[in-house]
Amino acid sequence: MGKDDNFSEWYNDIVEKANLSDKRYPIKGMNVWTPYGWKIMRYVDDLIRKELDATGHDEVCFPLMIPETEFKKEKEHIKGFDSEVYWVTHAGLNELDVRLVIRPTSETAMYPMFSLWVRSHTDLPLKIYQLVNTFRYETKQTRSFIRVREIHFFESHTCHATEKDAQEQVEEDLVILEKIMERLCIPYSLMVRTEWDKFPGAYYTVGLDTAMPNGRMLQIGSIHHYRTNFSIPYNITYEDTDGEHKNVHQTTYGMSERLVGAMIGVHGDDKGLILPPPVAPVQVVIIPILSKGNADAVIKKAAAIERTLKDSGIRAKLDLRDERPGSKFFDWEIKGVPLRLEIGMRDIDNNVVTFARRDSGEKGTISSDDIVPGVEMILELIRKNMYDKAWKIQKENVVSVDSVKDLPERTLRFGWCGSEECGHRFEDENDLKLLGTPYIKEGFEGKCIVCGRHTDKVAYASRSM
């Protein structure tokens, strides 16, 4: 099952063994969130809510269905989604005159309403978000959390008076991103997507990519600047201080359950998941080590420690199942619990608890008197270690190349003249996807990897997941 020699198999195996999702639901790409997986997702969602709320976004919830007439207002957008939307064509026994789209994303649901909501410059900026499921008829191979047909995601949509204000929103989104990612311990790169790969209807798209152990990049989210591309067809205007009516400038931002997929892929090992403490449903598992005659005393002590940790807001769980300790260790390791505490007579006699870290395997003892600060400190060390380690891998995955001979299975960095022709040729001939050009400019002097012309542009590419 090795993670490094067969990532794909390892991933599926881990998802099943850790019981994150049940793939047996009889529709391709629509899996059941089981309690453990859903708890993780919920903690991720909580983090997202917290950061968006803190930056003045308001949560809303729009209907799932969109009338065909609204859906078709922005031409590029339809072209991009036409082949992958689900349609509702009937209601009861009646065929509908206006068919309904099951949202693949919510621009076309929200923007007719934005047009009503925004009237004055004082209504701006409008910053809203929702956490919902969306549907896309994915024809490629599906995979839990990574390629699904029912997508659980957050989408934030903003309207601004000027392009500059919208650009500042993109910058704010990046700050939000950093705060979320340091909790999830997921590294990422920011790439401005190529013209042919940007979001349908966008002015530009920033793709957020995380390297998987097989060298491929997983897109975990995106930020789009729309300019007035949607506000014109949807007629979203405001009356400015000068009395003129102007179209708003818009942005969107979204990330999905791929964050869970990324956490699995980035952190897991051959023993199972390793969950970042901030989103682990069980942060600390307590295993009592019983033997004849002392069971009562050990259980009593273990329960007291569980109580103390829980009272301090730490998600602790005492495992009292009638299993042998070794068996419990394996179980919780598969499930990725970041910290394990063991309590036996030996520990009680020494007034300590034994701990074992999931990320490093390191073992030691904590004084029973300092159990809360001790556990909090170790959890934070684990989080930090996981984040640092992940960033190191993300950076090491990038290889600079200057010719198309012997391209390694990594993320490639090279010169690109920027022409669509060279871009397509590079993708087609090497079976790679251009991730784009760095959002944060990198100094570069060299030649286009395809045509050889001198260029100061640098591009990245990898095989996609």
Partner RNA sequence: GGGUCUGUGGGCUAGCUUGGUAUACUUGCGGCUUUGGGAGCCGCUGACUCCGGUUCAAAUCCGGACAGACCCA
Q: Which residues make up the interface to RNA (CB under 7 A)? A: 8-9, 12, 23-24, 26-29, 83, 139-143, 271, 289-292, 295, 322-327, 329-331, 333-334, 342-347, 354, 356, 361, 428, 431
Helices (H), 272-370: 295-311, 325-334, 345-350
The residues near 397 (Cβ < 8 Å, ≥ 6 apart) are 211, 215, 410, 411
Question: Least Å distance between CB 350 and RNA?
Answer: 8
In the complex with RNA, the residue whose CB is nearer, 244 or 296, is 296
Which tokens belong to 286?
A: 């307590």
CA distance 197 to 202: 10
In the complex with RNA, the residue whose CB is nearer, 51 or 347, is 347
In the complex with RNA, the residue whose CB is nearer, 25 or 117, is 25
Phi, psi of 205 (to 5 degrees): -125, 135
CA distance 321 to 304: 17
Question: Least Å distance between CB 80 and RNA?
Answer: 14
Question: Least Å distance between CB 122 and RNA?
Answer: 47
Phi, psi of 194 (to 5 degrees): -65, 165
Question: Least Å distance between CB 297 and RNA?
Answer: 11
Question: Least Å distance between CB 344 and RNA?
Answer: 2
In the complex with RNA, the residue whose CB is nearer, 55 or 294, is 294
In the complex with RNA, the residue whose CB is nearer, 14 or 47, is 14
**Which residue reads 């506000």 in tokens?**
231
Question: Least Å distance between CB 289 and RNA?
Answer: 4
The residues near 33 (Cβ < 8 Å, ≥ 6 apart) are 21, 41, 152
In the complex with RNA, the residue whose CB is nearer, 182 or 197, is 197
In the complex with RNA, the residue whose CB is nearer, 184 or 262, is 262
CA distance 241 to 239: 7
> 87 near 100, Cβ under 8 Å?
yes
In the complex with RNA, the residue whose CB is nearer, 232 or 289, is 289
Which tokens belong to 144?
A: 């839990």
CA distance 202 to 56: 23
Element (H or E) spanning 358, and its range? none
Question: Least Å distance between CB 285 and RNA?
Answer: 12
Question: Least Å distance between CB 298 and RNA?
Answer: 8
CA distance 167 to 249: 9
CA distance 401 to 276: 34
